[in-house]
Amino acid sequence: MKVIEKIIELGDGRSITIETGKLAKQADGAVVVKMGKTMLLATVVSAKDAKADVDFMPLSVEYKEKFSALGRFPGGFMKREGRPSDYEILVCRLVDRALRPLFPADYHAETFVSINLISVDADDMPDALAGLAASAAIAVSDVPFSEPISEVRVARIDGKMIINPSRTELETADLDMIIAATMDNIMMVEGEMSEISEAEMLEAIKFGHEAIKVQCQVQVELAELTGKTVKREYCHETNDEELRQLIVDKTYAKVLAAARLQNPNKHERSDAFGAIKEEFIAEYSEGKDALEINKSLIGRYYHDVEKDAVREMVLEDRVRLDGRKTDEIRPIWSEIDYLPGAHGSAIFTRGETQSLTSVTLGTKLDEKMVDDVLYRGKEKFVLHYNFPSFSTGDARPSRGISRREVGHGNLAFRALKGMIPSDSPYAIRVVSDILESNGSSSMATVCAGTLALMDAGIKIKNPVTGIAMGLISTKGAEKYAVLSDILGDEDHLGDMDFKVTGTKDGITATQMDIKVDGLPYEVLAQALDQARLGRLHILGKIKETISEPREDLKPHAPRIVSIEIPKDMIGAVIGPGGKIIQEIQESTGAVLVIEEIDNKGVVDISANNKEAIDAALARIKGIVAIPEVGEIYKGKVKSIVAFGAFVEVLPGKDGLLHISEIEHRRLNTVDEVLKEGQIIEVKLIEVDAKSGKLKLSRKALLPKPEKEEK
């Protein structure tokens, strides 16, 4: 067994070790990446041949966290890992988006990259190591790959940039980004920020890239040590250059002319381009000049013609498929309070992209419970994004939540979550249903989410808007066009998909995929500045619909009042076996949730009406109140005994009203005056210092009888 290791020094006493040759040796490539106690096993296996008529890269990336990595049992009845969590799906997407562009364009064999978290320190963030592990596994295999990549997390803590911070350090960061790059080029960026500037974001990207260069060089050296610098030979495409040239000659001018019609309707544009292809097929499938039609090849070559023609139009004419200028935003309209049953709702429509978003408010009982390997807890704010097939006019069934929906929802969640007040007592669920899609629906979700939250009366710190930017460029960006508010077509045929969200004060989240090499930072800077202007334009449109959160919640929304009680009174409010709290909830209709926070009891009282909250509040205040000598109380006679009556002066607190303290006259029996259940006023005249028992008087509140004259 020949084990090979390479070490990457992080410069702060920490190091990353890449080991190969010990585990999973039947895979095409396998490595173990270690940082402290955290270990990732990454493998790659690629089929020797491609399936027939496959003209894309069938790459599958899986990231799986083992509960045993932290010495934990999985939750649930089965006690084994099940379907991937949202967090695992998000890590898969981070790795997939960075790797996919670097496989050869003509490589079509099924390829599976598997990353397993096999050991972990609870304070480590293994997602920052997953991209490095996946790329290193490919580097020590014979699977064709243009060059290594790596990913790092960049955080800014107390003004200082840090590579791959710990979970504890990240809690105080105002910038948290995952950056993927090759030795020379940025490939992918995703993260969240606390309203930072465009210049600060670029600084973070550059800082992360410097660390990535070192990690890529180590992978090059590792490949040399393992003898895997020569990759496997393959032939996954059969090409016909004569047919390719014929399609260019016969269709390019027609496609360019169709593009220059600048039709704003997506389906009509698609039909026009499709008609040109069908016309070509019809012309060359009959007669003496008939070709042996290979529709798969024709489809691929014609797609390239479409792409090249549209890109030429944008670069030369500085106009886009739907007739807009490069920095022009599509028409926007929005509406709030569309759903009368929701606690908040909004429609946001930009061009042919539309989101219907609702907000639901709940109590602590509605908070999302999270039981992942590295995090167990609750989330007060959640955002769910749904992308039904009818939004694009496709006839296909729904097969559950896709990875794309998880990823797009997470981007919108990160954009908005920093604007939710930290002292909000509500559990908040935002649901975005995409009803139309042509261009960034995740950014429409951010805008609709902002509107719906303000409609619900949530006092967000600042409204958030988002925009998707695109890029069309020549090699080396000698000529380029930065496109604001991109169409779906422009995303597909362009060189960059750059989503930016933010407030009037700065950026809150971003997601960027770059598809070309050698993109200068100056182009990124222009894209960011153009995005800022676009965001501010959209913000102005939103404020025309609602400029600030509503003053109050909707009438049917739950009301929550929080009060603090002494820690030692928590048990008194709950009662034996929960008897007291259950009785309060049943009698008032309010819902009570009690927690111990910072050595104090915090009681959340929620109901749909003020009367129920006030009633519950009075009961709790009565329980935690300390009886004071001299105070007058209105109490209920709980029981009558020979020597007096026990009166409940506060919830759960009874005092003795001695028979001699009922009236000024002498009584033979208590029931001459009192009955059980009767409400009377009494005065607290003494609290026994030793026992704490309460002594009450009724006669102290009655006028003294006048003395009889002799």
Dihedrals phi, psi of 398, to nearest 5 degrees? -85, 130
| Rounded distance between C-alpha atoms, residue 679 and residue 69, angstroms | 63
Long-range interactions of 224-228: CB distance < 8 A, separation 24+: 225/4, 225/6, 226/4, 226/20, 226/21, 226/140, 228/29, 228/139, 228/140, 228/141, 228/142
Q: How many CA atoms lie within 13 A of 91 on its CB side?
A: 26
53 assigned ligand-binding residue: no
Rounded to an integer, what is the distance from CA 461 to the centroid of its chain?
18
Q: Give yes or no for a contact between 27 and 228, defined as CB atoms under 8 angstroms apart.
A: no
304 assigned ligand-binding residue: no
Q: Give yes or no for a contact between 694 and 655, defined as CB atoms under 8 angstroms apart.
A: yes
| 3-state SS assignment for residue 439 | coil
Q: Which of 70, 90, 37, 166 is nearest to 374 (CA)?
A: 70
Q: Euclidean distance between the first and final Cα of the chain, in Å?
A: 121
| Rounded distance between C-alpha atoms, residue 382 and residue 671, angstroms | 60
Residues 6+ apart with CB under 8 A from 382: 368, 413, 428, 429, 430
Q: Which of 676, 621, 675 is nearest to 653 (CA)?
A: 621
| 3-state SS assignment for residue 112 | strand
Q: How many CA atoms lie within 13 A of 281 on its CB side?
A: 14
| Rounded distance between C-alpha atoms, residue 569 and residue 624, angstroms | 6
Furthest C-alpha separation in the chain: 145
Q: Give yes or no for a contact between 383 and 416, defined as CB atoms under 8 angstroms apart.
A: yes
| 3-state SS assignment for residue 396 | coil
Cα–Cα distances in angstroms (integers) from residue 586 to residues 421, 549, 556, 575, in the given order = 31, 33, 20, 14
| Rounded distance between C-alpha atoms, residue 15 and residue 11, angstroms | 8
| 3-state SS assignment for residue 266 | helix
Query: Residue positions in the annotated binding site for Mg(2+)?
Result: 491, 497
Query: Residue positions in the annotated binding site?
Result: 491, 497
